[in-house]
Amino acid sequence: MKRFEIKDDFYLDNQPFKIISGAIHYFRVVPEYWLDRLEKLKALGCNTVETYVPWNLHEPHQGIYDFEKRLDVRKFIQLAGDLGLYVILRPAPYICAEWEFGGLPYWLIKDPSVKVRFENPKFMEKISSYFAHLFPQVVDLQITNGGPIILMQVENEYGGYANDKNYMERMADMMKSHGVNVPFVTSDGPWGDMLENGSIPETALPTINCGSKVKEHFKRLRAFHGTKKPLMVMEFWIGWFDAWGDVIHHTTDAEESAHELADILEEGSVNIYMFHGGTNFGFTSGANYYEKLAPDVTSYDYDALLTEWGDITPKYRKFQEVIAKFTTIPEVRFSTEIEKIAYGELKVRAKTSLFHNLDKLSKRFHHNYPLTMEELNQGTGYIYYQSQIGKARPIEDFRLIECMDRAQIFINENHIATQYDLEIGQKLEFELTEPKNQLGILVENMGRVNYSVKMNHQEKGIRDGVIINGAFQSEWDIYSLPMDNLNKLDFEATWQSGQPAFYQFKFNASTIGDTFIDLEGWGKGFITVNGFNIGRFWEKGPQQRLYIPGPLLKQGINEIIVFESEGKVGESITLTDLPKLSKD
């Protein structure tokens, strides 16, 4: 039986062991490509793979668990082990990862007495319930049981959030109580008080996250350890993520990154973040918030060693040259054949308005004031509020009070304004001209904040209400729109220009391969392929095309549905074999 220990260094079976790891998030890659990505990791010269575990995917609604198909974390770990790779597992509760709510499930927000990421009795109770389902999937895959898992992480970058050491120790104790017996690590930035805040050195080995100046940061980490301990960069940032509205797709210099990698490996161990970024499918991308909301794009390419679609990059080759100085590069035959196919231009086959499908997609809920998504047991997507606001008259004071994240305002199904983030709450004035007038407000969750103090208030939709001429409007019909049931759409129902609407496309595929959907001329929305939500698009970029992995397609007829919310549409879309992650 193999043993992995932390002493003055990492030891595998009593021999010093340098961890050379790369990050792959199984939930950002279709399962059919897991093996391909892991083989390419091994071929780089890595001996280990690291992955997060997103609580909000595995328990999407309280008490409902999912560890199947693309959420089969057990299978991913076993595949790694079959290739001779070891595994670093970074489980819940919080992962950051530019992921919706940092991996925390939305339903925690429903109870205001739950204080996330602190030793709060209700929070700890909910984590324990989740751990009771998560850890049976993986504890027998620890190296102590003959499996590939060598390390597990306690929380994540906690020093950048708080310094509740009791919470951290309780978390470690809970993991132990659920069968974890491999060594623990924590990971934090090396700046300011982060290491001090987030570390529990008697329980877990402190490691650091950074992208440059490694020698300087290792000096700080060595001093923090006090005695000789292994040095490790748990997240060696070799790229960065993109937010909607960024000017360009973020990239980093390959030569500089390779030089930093060499500096790390000369003194310690590494986990390359990201080796392969993958895709924020559906509505899973998170957001950052400092001066303003910065929601992340669908691609999590990250300028990683493999592209979002799995191609080997020049940066991969430079990293391989560095790693070859520290270990033998194995010969690996890639067993998955992946082709890129341009299926060509597709014309719109059918189209229908959102407003004429509300009762197909949702069950109307009537309430005397607006309710948030969370209050209606909804995590992501959109929510629509509708109210009768009376006779023709001037509206001199219209305001949305505590609403997130993006609101489109309609009078009698005609768009009059859109407010986003900092604009929300600004006063609007307009004229009602009909004898009877209907107000509609479509609110989109653009991604719950995944880092910083803004995590404490992430209710989506309208929280407080809507002011009309100085008073809160009452009596609302509310439609919860997670957009997970588009098979119920009625494409025979009315379509009207300028409204949020669905557009259907079909094409016949004789050969299956990866492709990219180009939506030039389209505004904002999301796309499903054979019922699977591949993610959001937005003309503001930088991402211009969305990646469709081949396994989502089938031989024969395939259906694509585009939901577009701005009324800005074209007559066609194009499936091309070329990606485009930047406007340039």
Q: Which residues contact 405 (CB under 8 A, 6 or more apart)?
A: 287, 293, 295, 420, 421, 443, 444, 445, 446, 447, 460
Q: CB–CB of 231/9 below 8 Å?
A: no
Q: For residue 122, what are its two tokens?
A: 């209700």
- Residues in the chain with pLDDT < 70? none
Catalytic residue among 235, 260, 564, 566: 235
Residue 1 has what pLDDT?
A: 77
Q: For residue 189, what are its two tokens?
A: 């930035």
State yes or no: is 157 an active-site residue.
yes
Residue 50 has what pLDDT?
A: 99
117 Rama class: left (phi>0) / alpha (psi -120 to 50) / beta: left
| CA–CA dist 218, 208 (Å, integer) | 8
Residue 529 has what pLDDT?
A: 98
Residue 92 has what pLDDT?
A: 81
What domains does the chain contain, in order, with CATH numbers? 17-323 (3.20.20.80), 344-351+489-576 (2.60.120.260), 358-481 (2.60.120.260)
Rounded (5°) CA angle 185-190-191 = 145
pLDDT tens for each residue of 64-86: 999 999 999 999 999 999 999 99
Catalytic residue among 157, 308, 564, 566: 157
Residue 168 has what pLDDT?
A: 98
Residue 583 has what pLDDT?
A: 80
Q: For residue 415, what are its two tokens?
A: 């768009």
Residue 241 has what pLDDT?
A: 98
Residue 227 has what pLDDT?
A: 96
Q: Using CA of residue 30, residue 450, residue 448, residue 563, what is the dihedral sign?
A: negative
Phi, psi (deg, nearest 5) at residue 171 = -60, -45
State yes or no: is 235 an active-site residue.
yes
Residue 104 has what pLDDT?
A: 98
Residue 165 has what pLDDT?
A: 98
String of b and e for 459-480 (b: at least 16 CB within 10 Å)? bbbbbbbbbbeeeebeebbbbb
